[in-house]
Structure formats: C-alpha cells, structure tokens
Amino acid sequence: MKDAAPLRRIAFLGGYLPRLCGIATFTHDLCEAVAAEAPESLCFTGAVNDQLEAYDYPERVRFELDEKDLDSYRRAADFLNFNNADVLCVQHEFGIYGGPAGSHLLALLKEVRMPVVTTLHTVLREPNPAQQKVMEELVRRSDRLVVMAHKGAEILRETYGVPDAKVDLIPHGIPDIPFIDSSFYKAQLGVEGRMVLLTFGLLGPGKGIEHAIEALPEIVRRHPNVVYLVLGATHPHLVAREGESYRLGLERLAEACGVKEHVIFYNRFVSLDDLKEFIGATDIYLTPYLNEAQITSGTLAYVFGAGKAVVSTPYWHAQELLADGRGILVPFRNPQAIAEGVCTFLDDPARLQRTREEAYLVGREMIWPAVAQRYLESFRRARADRKAAPRTAFAEWTLASRPYDLPPLRLSHIVRMSDGTGIFQHAMFNVPNFHEGYCTDDNARALILCILLDELGGRPPEEKLDRQATSYLAFLSAAMNQETHRFRNFMSHGRQWLEVAGSEDSHARALWALGTCAGRSHNEGHQRLSGQLFERGLPLVESFTSPRAWAFTLLGIHEYLRRFPGHPQVLAACRLLTGKLVNLWKSCATEDWPWFEPIASYDNARLCQALLLSGQWLPDPEALDIGLKSLRWLASLQKTQAGHFRPIGSNGFCERGGARADFDQQPVEAQAMVSACLEAFRATQDAVWPREAKRAFEWFLGRNDLGVPLYDSSSGGCSDGLHQDRVSENQGAESTLAFHLSLAEMNFAEHLIAHPVSHA
C-alpha cells in the first residue's frame, strides 16, 4: 500500500551529538540525511541524555529526556503527540534507555499516536528474560523494524516471531568519501611512506585491540614500514568506572611486544571531516572484535564503504559485508591469524587494490543519500500500515489505561537517617534517634533499595547511590561474626555490638540483601564481598526454625542465582528450604485456613512470594500452587468491604478461630504484599495481581482505614504505622524503607500496572 502524501514532520529519537557514542553519531547523520532528501519535511530530534549536565545541542534537537527519569519519557510522548509528528524513528540499543533492559522506552511508545519505525542496532539471539520482554513489547509497539544485516532479520523471525513483511533491511549509512590513493592523506598526517593499519571508534575491552597489537611483531618482521593507528577516545562510561586503565594496558602491551614505534594512539573523538582524513590514509582496516553477536558496526561500514581492505573477526555484520572475498575473516582472539591476514594483503598489492575497488563499488549503496531514501520509504509504509489499522487517538487516555501515576523519588529522609556507619533504626518525628543505634535488618533493606534504584536508574546520581550502598554493605560485613558466621543485629551509636548473635530473621534478611547485591550489583567489589558473605552465612539456615527466615533466605537465593544459576550448594539450599515451607503448609493448611501456621503474624506475604519464586525457577509446580493459594487467601483477608487494603495488625495478629487484629498496621505488610502480588503476576499473567499490588501500595498514600497518607512527600519519610485513631508521628528506617522499596518495585512493574493482561 503506497502513501503519496508528504511527511511534513519527521521525529527521531536517540542519542545526539555532541554526546559521544555511536548511536548519537548515527541519529545525527540519519536526521541530517533525511532532512536533505526531504526538504519539504521538518526533521527534528529528541535527545536521550546520559548525564545531569545538559549537552549543547544544535537547533535540530527540539526536546530532551533523561535516560533514567521515567516521567521524562511520558513528557516526550506528549510533546510528540501535541506537535503532530507524522512518524517517529527510534534508534534502539538496550544500553541507552533507562530501566531494566531499557524498559523506560516502552512508557513513551505506549503513548505516542504516530507510526513508529524502530532501528535495531542490537538484535540478541539469546536475550535474558528482561531483554526478551522488552524486545517483544518493542516489536508490538513498532509499525516497522529496521535492521542493517540479513542476520538481524533472521533472528527477529526465529527468536521473536517477527514476520519478514514487518522488517526493512537498510544498511548502515556512510559518508561519501572519494576513492583516491592513500598517499595524499598520509602526507597530511605525517605517515608518508608507511603502510597504515587502522582501528577506530570508542575504546573498550570488547574491541579486541590487544590481539591486534600482539599480531604486530610478526607483521612488522615481514613489513617493517607498518604503523598501527588506534583512533578514538575511551568510552565515557568506561572512563567513569575505570579511568584510562584499558588504554594504558594497551600501551604497556605494545611496549612489551617491542612495537611501540609502530603504534599510534590518538585519544580523541574526531569530527567527520577529520575522520575522512584518517580513513583516507588507511591501507588496511582491523576490527578484531571479540563477540560474534554484533549485528552492526558503524566503523566497519564507514571504512568498507570508503574502499578500504578489511581484516576482521567473524562477527555477524563482518560475515555479511566481507563475504565473497570482499575482505579477510580471521578467528576470534587469534593474533597469529590477524598477522597472516594483514600480510596476505601486504604481500599482494594487486589483491589489496582489487579488494579496495570492489568494496568501494558495494559501498555506493550505503552512502547517506541512498540510505535516507530507503528510510523515507519505510516511513511511508509505516504510515500506510497505520492508516489501515489506526491507533485510536484517545482510547488509551482513560484513567484505567494510562500509566499509574507514581510519586517521584525523594530519598532525603533516608540520607538524613544514615551516616558513615549505616542507617539508624528509629526516628523522633523526622530526626534520627541516636539512642536506638543501628540494626542489621534495616541496613539490609537499605542495601537492597540502593541496588534496585541503581538498576532502575533513579535519582540520586549513581556515585551517591554507590556511596550509600558501600556504607550499608560495610555494616553487614561487620555484622557477621567471623568465627560463627552468624549475623549480629543490634549495634549501639558507639559502634558496640549488643549481642553475640541476632535473630534468625535478621540473619536471613542479611542473606537476602547479600544475595541481591551479588546477583544484581554493577560494582564488582560489592558483588564479590556480598557473594563471600552470602556463601558463609547460607549453611546455617538449614538448622533454623523460623519460616520467615526460610522465606527471606529463599528471596536472597533467587537473587544470587541470577548471576550464578548453576551453583550446586545454593541450589541444594533452595530445594531444602522450599521443601520446608511446602511441608509446613501441608501440616497446617485446611480448606478454611489455607496458611502455613495457626497464626498469620508479620511479613506474611513473604512466605507466598518465596514459594512463587521457587515454583517458577526450580521449577516446582506444587510450590507455585501453594504460593498462589496462600496469597489469594491473604489478599482476601486483607481487603475491606470498601475495597482498600487493611493489613493484619501487629497488636494481636490473626489466629485461626479467633478475631484478627486490625491495628496497629505496619508498612512492611504493605510492602510484602506489593512484592508478592507482582511476583504472582510474573508467574501467571493474571490481571488480578497488579490490581492487588496497586491496592497495597495505595495504603501508603491514604487509601486506608483512616483515609490519611503515611508517606510524607515533603520529607521523603514514612510513618511507622497506622493506629486506630492516627498515624504514628515518627518516621523510622523500617517504615521509610518499606515505602521506597515498594515504590521501586512499582516503578519496575509500571507497564504491568498500566496494561495488565487478562489471565486465560
């Protein structure tokens, strides 16, 4: 179906220059190329920011969004809708958008009303569960998908079930560089008379440059006039984490290999005009990348299309571009093969020239004007498809279908409650109570919050989260008695432990936090320390008698298994503790009392949540069934006739055959219910569970027996409990952390709350 009407307003979304990354360069070049080929259209861009300080963007950038701020994605969608964009072209790479696997992007795609064409810069053949879910939703929300290699279309078809008719194959665009002798540019760069090998792009360990340097001694032995030019700045994110250690390691390697006179490092992110000169001076381009699963390489496309001979490892894009003798492919991590490939060209100048000429001819199909025309065709197809099956403009703007409006993150009270030792237990109003000191329970909760926020991509900045997480982890490390491997719980303000061993529950909460840190943290030191402490403290739980300690430990085990799924001792402990909870249920549960004990006391939903996790991932169908049955009963028990959440009160709990206590209601009960209900949804896709999670979360915000909020948006603190006639005036660590952990989980599951799927 053709659509001849002009595209008056074309929007692009991605990174944008002067941000230093490949996606930013691509978005800029594509936008400019389309604007040149469609002068009747207004082309504008939304720039995704990776830092708090604003970039000095050109006029082409009409709106910006913060990659870690979920609300900014919704505001961007409103901007696009109100400005009547005819089509939105999204540049997709998992790493440039916030949320787990870049899921924040989905908040924008759910609300835009124009056709969406998504360029996939990465297509994973073996995605993890989070990447799989994001990719499936991305496919559903995009009218057309663009890939740059046949392999990408193949993976979309085989892994994600995308029909070929929805996919457009458009090569990576390249500048139009004339085919001239390299000697012209060599003189300008001061390398006249040398044979120039080039690798360029943002530097990082995945580039495999160390293997090219290790190949140089043999190349130089046979061709002493060779010089290897490594062009490009170290990736900004790598610099932020590790400084220039990777580049310095490469320089030391060149010296150790005796080739320092044959290697030039140019640590700059060069302009396009400068890049053309470096490419022009090149004889052979090297891409010794380490990973096959790279569906596109802009640097490879640039140099190949400029008519340069290429020696490359066989990642997917190189396999296609260099097929049929258009270059030389060598095995991964093989310096000897790299040396042989380079010398094959240097030994045979005629072959080098033929390869260059053929590459240049193929590259004419990749220059930006040709690529821009193909994108315009894709945009028109997307609009034609949308007219055939339109997205109703306002049907998804009702309260029932719009994303649930969550409070903004405000961690000021948690920071106020913390010092260099850890987080204080209690508060007098919103002031830390030094007299009560610290406890392991709350520092464990605080560590989990830091890790979730880091993964979610919330505020405060990453370095501040890392600093807070370090303090909480250091507290847990100090809490472990290194002789017995038991965690102590209570510490005075003077940093004196007040007991030899803490409760079983506090020990298990520490394991929960350590398992989370080991399984999710991006800080390698935090990972390793947490893993050590977790493995030391885990065996003791086998002798524990507290069902909640079993459940907390299981939550930590499943977090730990995210990173170490085959750990035999941890898997054995998982099966053992799951069996203990299942047997406890069987020994107590009846038709009228489908519960684990004769009393439903505190942190009740954690028992259900632990079995839901084990049921899914061991897998254990019986455990899953018990987890769902017990959670359904608990949800009904904690729901009033008016429809709001009423947790079992701590002033007496709920005994079988007796009355239940309605007060005092504790924030940890609402938090546990939020977590368990969201896990139940992940297990079943039943739409009832996001509604139950929302019900429990709204208890914090005032949908409760008194109709008053426990969360104080001005301080960022949460009241310690709901009494029969009032809320507590104190904002301690446990309650405040319960709210913020619930908020983090609700943010993770935002798309589940907004668009639940009915259970079939």
- The CB-based long-range contact list for 391-394 (8 Å cut-off, 24+ gap) reads 391/113, 393/113
Question: What total number of domains does the chain contain?
Answer: 3
- The sheet carrying 61-66 orders its strands as 61-66, 42-49, 9-14, 87-92, 116-120, 144-147, 167-169
For 600, phi and psi rounded to 5 degrees? -100, 115
The answer to whether position 760 is within a domain reads: no
Same-domain check for residues 569 and 486: yes
- The CB-based long-range contact list for 492-500 (8 Å cut-off, 24+ gap) reads 492/437, 493/434, 493/435, 493/437, 493/438, 495/421, 498/437
Same-domain check for residues 387 and 429: no
Q: What residues are paired with 14 via a beta bridge? A: 47
Non-local (6+) Cβ contacts of 389 within 8 A are: none
Q: Are 123 and 155 in contact (CB under 8 A)?
A: yes
Nearest alpha carbon to residue 80 among 16, 12, 145, 167? 12
The answer to whether position 1 is within a domain reads: no
Same-domain check for residues 479 and 611: yes
Q: What single-letter DSSP state applies at residue 388?
A: H
What's residue 180's pLDDT?
Answer: 81
Enumerate residue ranges in the chain where pLDDT < 50.
Answer: 1, 393-394, 754-760
Nearest alpha carbon to residue 175 among 284, 18, 36, 358? 36
CATH number at residue 19: 3.40.50.2000
Q: What's this model's pTM, rounded to 2 decimal places?
A: 0.73
Same-domain check for residues 279 and 421: no
The answer to whether position 406 is within a domain reads: no
> How far, CA to CA in Å, does 97 sit from each of 90, 104, 131, 134, 301?
11, 6, 12, 11, 25
The answer to whether position 341 is within a domain reads: yes
Same-domain check for residues 222 and 136: no
Same-domain check for residues 686 and 737: yes
> How far, CA to CA in Å, does 155 sit from each of 143, 147, 152?
18, 10, 5
For 704, phi and psi rounded to 5 degrees? -150, -175
Same-domain check for residues 114 and 195: no
The answer to whether position 402 is within a domain reads: no
The answer to whether position 3 is within a domain reads: no
Same-domain check for residues 150 and 228: no
Burial 144-182 (b: 16+ CB within 10 A, else e): bbbbbbebbbbbbeeebebeeebbbebbbbbbebeeeeb
Same-domain check for residues 73 and 130: yes
Same-domain check for residues 233 and 282: yes
CATH number at residue 696: 1.50.10.10
List the domain range (segments joined by +) for residue 687.
412-754
What's residue 91's pLDDT?
Answer: 98
Same-domain check for residues 20 and 139: yes
The answer to whether position 257 is within a domain reads: yes
What's residue 178's pLDDT?
Answer: 87
Same-domain check for residues 374 and 481: no
CA atoms of 433 and 372, how far apart (whole Å): 64
Q: What single-letter DSSP state applies at residue 97?
A: S
The answer to whether position 2 is within a domain reads: no
> How far, CA to CA in Å, does 562 sit from each of 166, 515, 557, 567, 608?
34, 9, 9, 10, 20
